[in-house]
């Protein structure tokens, strides 16, 4: 797949995007969920090696293909790693899966009800390198905890400023202003975010497109106008702490939105499983998430 092929697949593909981008502080939690306790490694290198092994097992599984998984978001170390001697982005592309790269480097402390992204060190070099490996796009996450109009406006402004840098490198940005689903003002957060995103999208130059990764809204269908906005290539949803079953139910209520799940995809996988067990469990998860992405309720 070349860039045009990948863009076409992401725009119209009947599937979902797998988020395989746990990094830093979230890695021990991801490994624990996989059945590997914290004492199993003695250094960060060993820890990242274990999570890379888990991701390689997923990528090489017969259940993981471009038929239902149209894209995958990678952590930088995963992007730079190999699967059976092949660069990970190349292995994904050969399976018909479009590679993305998580580029944010963590969050600032909460202020004005939100957490902005920390400055991204070496961004130009990282984007140039990702492009050279065949990566199609990026993903960058902020968090919204309460319904502060000024805080949410700041999140969106930062996200779109970064998106323009990504676009300048010939890559597709996934803008992720995550609304905390436990927020006491979640409905108001959703409404303010919709307004700010619409204004920012309207201000983009004609012909420019970005992607959006959003928490599933409290009011189903709230984000439908974003799915048809000419500046939006695709809207995807994060699971945001829901179990897979609950996330799939909520996803199916939102027409035009596909999944980009992480924990909900991986929650039943365990390191001790045989290959046949692993493939069967992964296949079930992929089937359920694909169904919620492509078969919508009234």
Indicate which residues carry an active-site annotation: 176, 213
**Quick one: which of 73, 127, 125 has its CA closest to 100?**
73
In degrees to the nearest 10, what's the CA dihedral of 201, 145, 153, 185? 90
CB-count exposure of residue 16 (10 Å: 0-12, 13-18, 19+):
buried
Q: CB under 8 Å to 2, separation ≥6 — which residues?
A: none
CA angle 103, 60, 84 (to 5 degrees): 85
Q: What angle do CA 79, 197, 211 make, to 5 degrees?
A: 30
- Name the nearest CA neighbour of 227 among 201, 188, 247: 201
**Distinct helix (H) and strand (E) counts, the chain:** 12, 11
Distance CA 145, CA 125 (A): 32
Token pair for residue 195? 């307004």
């Amino acid at each position: 797949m070349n860039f045009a092929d990948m863009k076409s697949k992401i725009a119209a593909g009947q599937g979902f995007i797998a988020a395989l981008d746990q990094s830093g502080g979230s890695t021990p939690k991801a490994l624990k969920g996989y059945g590997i306790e914290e004492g199993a490694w003695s250094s960060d290198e060993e820890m990242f090696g274990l999570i890379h092994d888990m991701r390689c097992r997923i990528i090489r599984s017969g259940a993981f293909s471009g038929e239902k998984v149209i894209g995958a978001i990678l952590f930088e170390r995963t992007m730079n790693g190999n699967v059976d001697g092949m660069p990970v982005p190349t292995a994904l592309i050969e399976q018909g899966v479009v590679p993305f790269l998580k580029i944010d480097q963590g969050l600032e402390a909460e202020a004005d009800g939100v957490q902005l992204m920390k400055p991204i060190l070496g961004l130009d070099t990282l984007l140039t390198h990702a492009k050279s490996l065949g990566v199609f796009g990026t993903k960058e996450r902020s968090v919204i905890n309460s319904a502060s109009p000024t805080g949410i406006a700041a999140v969106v402004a930062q996200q779109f400023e970064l998106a323009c840098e990504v676009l300048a490198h010939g890559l597709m940005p996934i803008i992720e202003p995550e609304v905390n689903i436990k927020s006491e003002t979640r409905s108001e957060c959703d409404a303010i975010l919709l307004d700010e995103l619409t204004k920012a999208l309207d201000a983009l130059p004609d012909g420019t497109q970005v992607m959006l990764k959003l928490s599933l809204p409290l009011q189903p269908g709230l984000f439908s106008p974003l799915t048809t906005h000419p500046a939006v290539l695709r809207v995807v949803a994060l699971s945001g702490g829901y179990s897979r079953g609950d996330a799939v139910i909520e996803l199916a209520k939102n027409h035009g939105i596909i999944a980009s799940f992480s924990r909900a995809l991986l929650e039943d996988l365990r390191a001790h499983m045989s290959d046949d067990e692993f493939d069967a469990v992964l296949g079930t998860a992929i089937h359920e998430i694909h169904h919620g992405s492509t078969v919508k309720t009234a």
